[in-house]
Amino acid sequence: MNKLQLFCQNRLSWLLLFFSGLALQLSALFFQYVMEYDPCVMCVYIRVAVLGIMLSGLVGALFPKLWILRFIAMIGWIVSAIWGAKLAFELNDMQVNPNPFATCSFFPEFPEFMPLDKWLPEVFSPTGMCGESVWSFLSLTMVQWTMVAFIVYSFIWLVMFLPALTPKRK
């Protein structure tokens, strides 16, 4: 437990969280702009959840020895991971069990104070349909891989929760 406590209070652990989210975002942009797979509105919301994980990593990396910042980062991390998993499960259900009555919106519904689709349309503006599954690897679709990623984020959060919030013993 002591090694996990030290790791949680180390800037490297939080930067790993940030860079893992960055890798997912860059992968999404690669699929969008290089492979030309248009993101749906649910995909855009999943990108926002990954952005939440990235921001949590940055908050934790600011002052990793400060308990309150680790706590805020841990809350942001798990909220983003659970919300991302929920979105990915919903999108997977739309793709696996297509229903003409269960479709997603064509336009994102961001709050007025944070119109990400207006601020950064290259990343947060949907151009695809939710029911389409255009890519797979090892028999898992893209959305199923995001489900795996969010489950892994949640599992790592569970392992890190107590060590991150307990003070270091001398």
CA-closest candidate to residue 163, choices 55, 74, 50, 61 = 74
Q: How far is CA 30 from CA 34, 48, 143, 156, in A?
A: 5, 16, 15, 26
Instruction: Name the active-site residue from 8, 11, 70, 104.
Output: 104
**Which candidate in 8, 11, 47, 169 is catalytic?**
47
Residue matched to tokens 């860059």: 26
**Given this model, what pLDDT does residue 156 score?**
87
Residue recorded with tokens 């389409």: 132
Name the active-site residue from 8, 11, 70, 130.
Answer: 130
Annotated catalytic residue 40: yes
**Cα separation of 74 and 35, whole Å?**
34
Q: What is the pLDDT of residues 110-155, one digit of tens each?
A: 778 877 777 867 777 777 776 666 766 677 778 888 999 999 999 9
Confidence grade of residue 162 (pLDDT, cut at 50, 70, 90): low
Give residue limits of the domains in the chain. Answer: 12-110+135-165
- 47 carries an active-site annotation: yes
- 80, with CB counted inside 10 A (0-12, 13-18, 19+), is buried
Instruction: Write out pLDDT tens, residues 40-79.
Output: 888 888 989 999 999 999 998 888 778 788 888 889 999 9
Give me the catalytic one of 8, 11, 43, 70.
Answer: 43
Annotated active-site residue 8? The verdict is: no
Q: Rounded to whole angstroms, how far apart are CA atoms 90 and 81?
A: 14
CATH of domain 12-110+135-165: 1.20.1550.10
Say what the pLDDT of residue 131 is.
67
Residues pairing with 136 in the sheet: 141
Residue type, 17: L
Contact 46, 146 (CB under 8 A): yes
